[in-house]
Amino acid sequence: MKTRRSERAWLLALLLAAAFLRLWELGDVPPGLTHDEANNVHDAAAVLDGLRPFYFPVAQGKEPLYPYTVAGFMAVLGRDPWVMRLSSAVWGLATVALTYVWTRRAFGTATALLTAAGLATGFWSVSTSRMGLRAVTLPAVFAAFSCLLWLGLWGKTNKSKIRWALLLSAGSLLGLSLYTYLAARAMALVPVVFALYLLLVRKAGARQPWAQVLSVVLIGAAVATPLFIHLQRQPDAEIRVGQLDQPLRALLQGDPDPLLARAADAVQFLSVRGDTFVPYNLPGKPVLDPVMSTLFVVGLAIALWRWRNPAYAWALFWLLLGLLPALVTGREAANLRAIGAQPMVYFLPGLAMAEAGRLVARRFRLRTDGSVPTAWAIWVPVSVGFLVLGGLTFHDYINRWAADPDTRVHYHADVVAIAQYVQSRPPGPIAISALYPGQYHDPRVVEAVTGEPGSHLRWFDGRRALVLPPEGGLLLVPAWTPLAPDLRQLVEPLAAVERIIIHPAHLNRHFDVLSAPAGSGFAREVDATMPRLGGVLAALGADQMPTRLVAGETGRLLTSWAVTGQLAPDQDAVLFAQVLGPDGRVLAQEDRLDVPSWNWHVGDRFWQLFELTLPPDAEPGVYRLIAGAYTVVDRVDAVLAGSRPDHTASRLPVTVGGMPAGDAIELDPIEVVSDG
DSSP string, 433-484: E-S--STTSHHHHHHHHHSS--TTEEEE-TTTEEEPPPTT-EEEEETTSPPP
Residues 447 and 592 in one domain: no
Q: Binning pLDDT at 50, 70 and 90, where does residue 370 land?
A: very low
Using an 8 Å Cβ cutoff, are 580 and 646 in contact?
A: no
Last residue of a domain, one of 406, 437, 457: 406
Q: Which residue has the higher pLDDT, 17 or 205?
A: 17
Stretch 62-75: mean pLDDT: 96
Using an 8 Å Cβ cutoff, are 171 and 219 in contact?
A: yes
CA distance 340 to 338: 5
The DSSP code sequence of 46-81 is HHHTT---SSB-TTT-B-SHHHHHHHHHHHHH-S-H
Per the document, the length of the chain is: 676
Residues 472 and 546 in one domain: no
Query: Residue 51 CB: number of other CB atoms within 10 A?
Result: 12
Q: Which residue has the higher pLDDT, 632 or 26?
A: 26
Stretch 176-182: mean pLDDT: 96
Stretch 437-459: mean pLDDT: 93
Residue 237, pLDDT above cutoff 80: no
Residues 362 and 446 in one domain: no
Last residue of a domain, one of 376, 406, 436: 406
Residue 408 neighbours by CB under 8 Å, 6+ apart: 31, 32, 414, 503, 505, 506, 507
Q: In this predicted model, what pLDDT tens digit does every residue of 540-583 receive, in sequence order?
A: 999 887 888 999 999 999 999 999 999 988 888 999 999 998 88
Q: Is residue 361 part of a domain?
A: yes
pLDDT value at position 558?
96
Q: Binning pLDDT at 50, 70 and 90, where does residue 374 land?
A: very low
Residues 482 and 401 in one domain: no
- The domain that contains 659 carries what CATH number? 2.70.50.60
Residue 496, pLDDT above cutoff 50: yes
Alpha helices of 471-625 — where are they, by DSSP H?
485-488
pLDDT value at position 373?
44
Q: What is the dihedral of CA 590, 591, 596, 601, to 10 degrees?
A: 90
Q: Is residue 373 part of a domain?
A: yes
Q: Is residue 189 part of a domain?
A: yes
Q: Is residue 647 part of a domain?
A: yes
The mean of the pLDDT values for the chain is 89
On the CB side of 673, CA atoms within 13 Å amount to 7
Stretch 30-45: mean pLDDT: 95
Stretch 33-54: mean pLDDT: 95
Under DSSP, is residue 178 helix (H, G, I), strand (E, B) or coil? coil
Q: Binning pLDDT at 50, 70 and 90, where does residue 537 land?
A: very high
pLDDT value at position 361?
73
Last residue of a domain, one of 515, 545, 574: 515
Residues 276 and 353 in one domain: yes
Q: Is residue 523 part of a domain?
A: no
Q: Binning pLDDT at 50, 70 and 90, where does residue 504 land?
A: confident
Q: Which residue has the higher pLDDT, 369 or 398?
A: 398
Stretch 449-458: mean pLDDT: 92
pLDDT value at position 662?
93
Which residue range is the domain that position 53 belongs to? 33-406
Q: What percent of the chain stands above pLDDT 90?
A: 70
Q: Is residue 25 part of a domain?
A: no
Q: Is residue 17 part of a domain?
A: no
Q: Look up the pTM and report it.
A: 0.91
pLDDT value at position 32?
93
What's the number of domains the chain is made of?
A: 3
Residues 467 and 552 in one domain: no
Residues 257 and 322 in one domain: yes
Stretch 50-65: mean pLDDT: 86
Residue 522, pLDDT above cutoff 60: no
Nearest to 285 by CA among 120, 441, 401, 150: 401
Using an 8 Å Cβ cutoff, are 398 and 24 in contact?
A: yes
CA distance 145 to 141: 6
Query: Residue 265 CB: number of other CB atoms within 10 A?
Result: 18
Residue 152 neighbours by CB under 8 Å, 6+ apart: 163, 164, 166, 167, 169, 170, 212, 216
Q: What's at 665, amino acid-wise?
A: I
Nearest to 473 by CA among 410, 418, 426: 426
Residues 604 and 623 in one domain: yes
pLDDT value at position 636?
47
Q: In this predicted model, what pLDDT tens digit does every residue of 382-409 receive, in sequence order?
A: 888 899 999 999 999 999 999 999 999 9
Q: What percent of the chain stands above pLDDT 70?
A: 90
Residue 487 neighbours by CB under 8 Å, 6+ apart: 462, 465, 466, 558, 607, 609
Q: Which residue has the higher pLDDT, 241 or 231?
A: 231
Q: Which residue has the higher pLDDT, 372 or 156?
A: 156
The DSSP code sequence of 279-314 is GGSSTT--SS-HHHHHHHHHHHHHHHHTTTSHHHHH
Angle between helices 81-107 and 65-77 (to 10 degrees): 120
Residues 601 and 487 in one domain: no
Cβ density class 360-394: b for 16+ within 10 Å, e for less: ebeeeebebeebbbebeebbeebeeebeebbeebb
CA distance 584 to 247: 41
